[in-house]
Amino acid sequence: MTREVRATDAEAEAVREFLTGSGLFENLYLKFAMKSFQKQLAYKFEYFIGVFNGLLFIFIFTSLWRAIYAGSESAEGSGFTSGSIIAYAIFAMIVRISMSMDDMSTIGKVRSGAISLDLIKPMNYFSMALSESIGQSMFHWFTRVVPILAVCLLMFDISLPVSAANYTLFIVAWVFGYFIMFMINFLFGLIAFWTIETFSFQLMKYGLFTLFAGGIVPIDFFPDWARPVVDFLPFKYVLYVPTALFIGHIGGAEALKLIAVQAFWVAGLGFTCWGMWGAAQRKLVVQGG
């Protein structure tokens, strides 16, 4: 029995070495991303609903901010003018739409037992999940972000930044924000290894993100006593920071500082994912998975 197990391990290692040496190992993750992209294409009705919902929320938020700013050009202490707050509301929603917020993939696999099939593949599960998430985000960029942005540029008095610095800072901040959001979702998905009921945890995550990411209300409007709490949590670095950098609300040394904090969160959450995934695997083995 021991000899068979060792032989199986040796075969798996040989497969890994072959895939890595031939360059196919890296391409497999690309194929996972493309497969995830193609899977989204099958749900055409969901695509139209996603575009409609995105535009609906944009119209709601911009209408609310217009009402709040009625009769005044700026809100005291926020740094936003009536024009820049509209731009923020639009681009914050677009950034939100561009990211995959799915944490049900791992939860569904754990509940169905399909996670065991992923564990025997000569691939890293975290990287597989990341590839699938990237495929979903690629789909959102092409099928939701582009049409929604086109409609907003026609319907609202906004314009895209002209400075290359804005785009550079945005791209870096968006990538870091994306990794932060993915790892938060990954960690919440792993909770399914310890409890069947995950809805309350998902609801908590959604509530924290909605409140502290700055998607509905920019962080600048939060009271002074709440700022340390918001700064301590990772959520504002997912949505508020990329959006504020894109519209030029934040720049210079402050922008670089925020990106450095994003990098810290990526490293910290990555280490946490590594530790929690190891614990989840051990629990699966103990339970006979």
Tokens of 202: 């998902």
Q: Is the pLDDT of residue 188 over 80?
A: yes
Look at the chain and report how many structural domains it folds into: 1
Is-contact 94 87, C-beta < 8 A? no
**Whole-prediction pTM:** 0.84
Buried b (16+ CB within 10 A) or exposed e, 238-275: bbbbbbbbbbbbbeeeebeebbebbeebbeebeeebee
Report pLDDT digits (tens) over 53-101.
999 999 999 999 988 888 776 555 567 888 889 999 999 999 999 987 7
DSSP string, 21-42: HHTHHHHHHHHHHHHHHHHHHT
Tokens of 263: 């990098």
Burial of 81 (0-12, 13-18, 19+ CB in 10 A): middle
Cross-strand partners of 33? none
- Across the chain, mean pLDDT equals 83
Tokens of 5: 């197990």
Show the domain range for 27: 2-286
Task: Give the confidence band of 167 by pLDDT, cuts at 50, 70, 90.
Answer: very high
Q: Is the pLDDT of residue 19 over 50?
A: no
Is-contact 236 218, C-beta < 8 A? no
Is-contact 195 283, C-beta < 8 A? no
